[in-house]
Amino acid sequence: MSQPPPPPNQPPSGGSGAPQDQPPKGFGAPQSPPPGGFGAPQSPPPGGFGAPRTPPPPQTSPQAPPPPAQGPGYGYPQPQTPPQAPPQAPPPAQGPGYGYLQPPTAPQQPYGHPQTPPGYPQQQPGYGFPQPPTMPMQPQGSQGGGRKGLSTQAWIIVAAVTAIALIVGGGVWYAKGSGDDHKDEAQTSDSKDKGKGGKGEKGGGTGKAGATIGYAGSGGTGTEAKEKAPGNTSAKVLFQVPGPQIKDRDQIDSVQGSWVSGSVYAKAAVGKIIGYDADTGATKWTLPLPGQTCAGSGQITSTGIAAVVSEAAPRPAKRQHQPCSKITAFEVATGKKLWTKSVESNGTPVTFGELEISGDTLALGGGFSYGGAALDITTGKVLWAPKVGACTDVGYAGGDQLVAVRKCGDYGNETYEVQLLDPTTGKDKWSYKLPQGIDNAKVISTDPVVFGVDAGDITSSGVTDVFALDDEGKLRSKIVLEDGKYEHDCEVNKVHQCHAIAVGNDKLYVPTKEHDGKADYSQTNEIISFSLATGKTTGERIDAGDDYEMWPIRMDGGNVIAYKDGPYDKGSQVVSIDGKSLKETKLLETPASEAVHSAISSMVPKDSEMLYTDGRLFFGQDLVSKPWSTRDKSYTALAFGAK
């Protein structure tokens, strides 16, 4: 009979030194680690690791920010580099133009049988496969002392070359022998947040789909909020998941996908998914996959089922990506595999880059070339396959409703439609056509249906114009989000992956760009709301406070769950904001040590797989690579819990 895994506070089994009897006290506290053990802290700086840094003395004039650190860790996921040239004014819309009230078109017939699209490429990397991250740019005008005095990008660089490994020092030990190939490298988190928790909300669960990955999602309503403030909001480190052992500097592996269900936090590793106990980080199960993950479902079902698309086989060598054609459905709580299969078109497996769940339907987006398909998530039965013809589904958004983005027309003359689908047949209930010349649509919410586009050139945010539709597919309002003024992020070539933006209470919640605060040399921002009925701002303003930056994570009933990135001498926070009174309630605050700040910054919180549920906060990477130096350690996930 197999033995249970050792608790994470045991000394490394493969280290050469004597184990410590007890883990050190205090997160990041200096210690004498056993040689050879995983994540052993390096020589601490004066004052001890994790000690708050002495704030800079008052200055009579702003100090220039330090120059960017040289040689950040290659492959650490970074924010996408903003365009070099300023965005151009949008061209005049052809046809109806923005904001034109359009009647829904007549429903179309269900999708046809699998066929090979013309010019379908063979053995190509899967659509939507992550590309190597770009080096961050240094923004202008961010000055002053303390952590928030630096730009976000600068802190990411600092984090990549500082003692991120020291996070192990004061938290729970999580160690394996050096030859173990990190087989226990991810761990899990509990969520009692199943069932109806606000329509379509990300990270909290819906009536049709449970806890989801941590990009802000759709549709909170006035239903009762589930997240409650604990007696003590000061959080501790629950566990950290070490990154895989990568030998080559230019090798980048994919670990996309994270889910929370019941008492399990599940995280993709290289070629597998691992389920972990939410509080202890102990490995509960491991599910091997055919290859590296290409995408994970944005939701889980009400019965706790999630899905992932992976490469069809292990990579024979670095960068030799295999087709993203294998789909696997599994139970998050147990790791039980329900099925693994491909969707074929004329005998050729189709590649996919997005997965969305609505009810028991798993919808798969194949991008601009391959089209979309859907399967019954419990049985794997194909409900519809990529349709060949004048129109192709680019991708889907799931949750309480299933929404498709469809492309019609030949290359250079494409038009796009946003459609509400019957999830069991694929037949559209209504279709909203976008003006010709608009070549993208990002679904922000599925109930109500809210989507955004870039009005002109591709912007750093991905969305400058937001459209709210009613239950019949008619336009309710158009909201203009001026490029450079707001800090949301909708990923390129993804239909349903917008971060730091949320829909609830018949409003759109968006964070502003950081600006000068009230205190000298401080930076701050706020979340403002727009009415979906009028398209105008409501006058509501949720201030982050000096030296904090705030953005929405998701809705919790009628409350906004938001993340507050903290200053150098304070931890980061998760707060709940009452949708009516705007009263802010702190739910969790991370430790304020420099080691924790560095570790969180290295995860790039605004773009990471961030999950908050049932008093626990999880950060997950989607790409991993070799640390920049032997002193640095990389992580695929971090977990914090309120005491």
- Over residues 179-201, mean pLDDT: 33
- Tokens 């950290």 sit on residue: 240
**Calpha distance 613→259 (Å, rounded):** 11
Res 260 pLDDT > 50 = yes
Distance CA 215, CA 463 (A): 15
Could you give the CA distance from residue 313 to residue 239 in angstroms, rounded to a whole number?
30
Give mean pLDDT, residues 325-344: 97
Which two tokens mark 97?
Answer: 């133009």
Contact 62, 521 (CB under 8 A): yes
Question: Which stretch of 312-316, 390-394, 465-469, 584-588 has the lowest confidence by average pLDDT?
Answer: 390-394
Confidence band for 488, pLDDT divided at 50, 70 and 90? very high
What's the one-letter identity of residue 569?
Answer: D
Q: Is 168 or 293 the better-scoring residue by pLDDT?
A: 293
**pLDDT digits 0-9 by tens, 145-175:** 333 444 444 443 333 333 333 343 333 333 2
Which residues are 638's β-sheet partners?
A: 240, 619
Asked whether residue 42 carries a pLDDT value surpassing 70, the answer given is no
84 Rama class: left (phi>0) / alpha (psi -120 to 50) / beta: alpha
> In the predicted model, what is the mean pLDDT of residues 92-104?
41
Residue 60 pLDDT > 60, yes or no? no
| pLDDT beyond 70 at 56 | no
Q: Give residue 389's pLDDT.
A: 74
Residue with tokens 């102990």: 282
| Band of pLDDT at residue 222, cut at 50, 70 and 90 | low
Beta-carbon contacts of 271 under 8 Å, excluding residues fewer than 6 positions away, are 288, 289, 290, 291, 292, 310, 314
pLDDT at 221: 53
The better pLDDT of the pair 95, 289 is held by 289
> Of 112-121, 263-272, 337-346, 452-461, where does mean pLDDT reach its minimum?
112-121
Question: What's the distance, Cα to Cα, between the start and end of the chain in Å?
Answer: 35
What number is the average pLDDT over the span 539-563?
97
Predicted confidence at residue 545, as pLDDT, reads: 96
Q: How confident is the model at residue 124 (pLDDT cuts 50, 70, 90)?
A: very low
List, in order of start, the domains of the chain with CATH numbers. 147-635 (2.130.10.120)
pLDDT band at 54 (very low <50, low <70, confident <90, very high): very low
Of the pLDDT bands very low, low, confident and very high (cuts 50, 70, 90), residue 462 is confident
CB distance 274 to 255 below 8 Å = no
- 265 or 116: whose pLDDT is higher? 265
Residue with tokens 């002053």: 144
Burial 40-53 (b: 16+ CB within 10 A, else e): bbeebeeeebbbeb
For residue 156, the surrounding DSSP H or E stretch is: helix 152-161
Distance (Å, rounded) from C-alpha 37 to C-alpha 17?
8
Is residue 281 within 8 Å of residue 639, measured between CB atoms?
yes
DSSP code of residue 153: H
For 577-604, the pLDDT digits (tens) are 999 999 999 999 999 999 999 899 989 9
User: Angle 273-276-281 (CA atoms, 0-180°, nearest 5)?
Assistant: 135
- pLDDT tens-digit readout, 204-219: 333 333 344 444 444 5
Q: Are the CB atoms for 158 and 151 separated by under 8 Å?
A: no
Specify the pLDDT at position 523.
96
Residue 96's pLDDT is what? 41
DSSP letter, residue 606: G
Which tops the pLDDT comparison, 140 or 5?
Answer: 5
Which runs of E-coded beta strand occur in 211-304? 235-242, 252-254, 258-261, 264-269, 272-277, 283-288, 293-296
**pLDDT tier for residue 293 given thresholds of 50, 70 and 90:** very high
Diameter of the chain measured on Cα atoms:
74
Share of the chain above pLDDT 70, in %: 65
Asked whether the predicted pLDDT for residue 364 surpasses 60, the reply is yes
